[in-house]
Amino acid sequence: KIEKIEADHNVKLRDETKRIKAEQERDYHKFLEQLKLKKKEVKNSVEKVPKSQRKETLKQRMSFYAEDKAKQEENFLASQKNDLDTTLKKMISNNKREIAEQERECLNKKQEFIRDREAAIWEMEENHLYEKHQLMKQQLKDQYFLQRHLLLKKHEKETEQMQRYNQRMIEILKGRQQQEKGRLPRIQRSEAKTRLAMFKQSLRINSSGSSSEDRKRVKEFSLQEEKRQKAERQYQQQKHENQMREMIGQCENNIRELQQLQNEKCHMLVENETQRLKQLDEKHNQQMKEWREHLRLRKKAIEEELNAKKRDQEAFFMMSESSVCLNPSSPQKLSKFVPYLDSTTI
């Protein structure tokens, strides 16, 4: 684009030079015609001089005319050259300013592109760090979710095992109590026979009354024996009930202790997960802090580099503006504006 503008400027400069020179050529011919008329006037003015003095007077006046003509022609040509040089210098200066503005605009666009590109890179880096952190957090959460799931499964199995153990202990107790309950009548019958026999034998040895009294005593003894057996059965029943309550209480306590232990394990797992997530967040925050600090230095370095290129460009333009062509109207002397070259590659 700059090369095209420069080529257009050179074409316009050459065309303007041709136009001005053509116009000056016409003015120069008019000027020469005026000088010729003035020469005729000088010759005609001699006619009024006496004939004897005409030759000498003509010679003097023509000499003055020649000197004046040479001086006027020199001044006229110098004025034309000065006008041409001034016009061309102004055009060259305007052309340089136009190209400089184009160069500034190109550099500004290029630098804005660099800024946008760097901003996009920084945004991608920040998003990458954030997404990486979120991925690590999600992986950690998934890991602990799996651990909780496995732990709950393990707790379910432990609870089932404890329930089976408790049920087995209750069944064993029930079986033992059933056996004791089944043995008690036999024991009581055996003991009752033995005690009754011993009581009757004691009556025979120590009896001093009639047989009806002995039967009455035996009957009373039997009633007492029934009461005693009933009391034993009630005692056994109460003992079995107490044993069952204690066993059920022990089983419930086993379940509570197991649940408490399981809850503590779950709580420890949750605390460990919370701590790990907190450490992960702290690590990410520190990483982001370091990245932003490094980013600040990167931004500063880029801005310094871009500003340095702008300063270099402005210095180049000032040097180009100060390098004025002394004779822009001379052949092969058309001013050529060398564009500012930025070595930065995008």
pLDDT digits (tens, 9 = 90+) for 87-109: 888 888 888 888 788 888 888 89
Chain-wide mean pLDDT for the chain?
85
Average pLDDT over residues 186-195: 87
Q: Does 343 reside within a domain?
A: no
Q: Does 22 reside within a domain?
A: yes
Contact 16, 83 (CB under 8 A): no
Q: Does 283 reside within a domain?
A: yes
So what's the pLDDT on residue 325?
Answer: 54
112 burial via Cβ count (<10 Å: 0-12, 13-18, 19+): exposed
One-letter amino acid of 102 = Q
So what's the pLDDT on residue 320?
Answer: 66
Average pLDDT over residues 223-241: 91
Task: Choose among 60, 55, 62, 57: nearest CA to 35.
Answer: 62
| Rounded distance between C-alpha atoms, residue 115 and residue 109, angstroms | 10
Contact 196, 221 (CB under 8 A): yes
Q: Structurally, how many domains does the chain consist of?
A: 1
Is the pLDDT at 223 greater than 60? The verdict is yes
Average pLDDT over residues 261-266: 95
Indicate the range of 38-42, 152-156, 216-220 predicted with least confidence: 38-42
Q: Which two tokens stand for residue 107?
A: 């550099």
**Residue 332: left (phi > 0), alpha (psi -120 to 50), or beta?**
left
Q: By residue range, what is the domain housing residue 269?
A: 2-322
Is the pLDDT at 326 greater than 60? The verdict is no
pLDDT > 90: percent of the chain: 41
Task: Choose among 318, 319, 181, 196: nearest CA to 244.
Answer: 181
Q: Does 335 reside within a domain?
A: no
One-letter amino acid of 4 = K
Is the pLDDT at 173 greater than 90? The verdict is yes
So what's the pLDDT on residue 14?
Answer: 85
Is the pLDDT at 253 greater than 90? The verdict is yes
Q: Would you place residue 330 in the very low, low, confident or very high pLDDT band (cuts 50, 70, 90)?
A: low
Q: Does 182 reside within a domain?
A: yes
Q: Would you place residue 170 in the very low, low, confident or very high pLDDT band (cuts 50, 70, 90)?
A: very high
Indicate the range of 32-36, 127-131, 214-218 predicted with least confidence: 214-218
Average pLDDT over residues 185-211: 81
Q: Would you place residue 52 in the very low, low, confident or very high pLDDT band (cuts 50, 70, 90)?
A: confident
Residue with tokens 């309550």: 245
Indicate the range of 90-99, 180-189, 247-256, 314-323 predicted with least confidence: 314-323
Q: Would you place residue 337 in the very low, low, confident or very high pLDDT band (cuts 50, 70, 90)?
A: very low
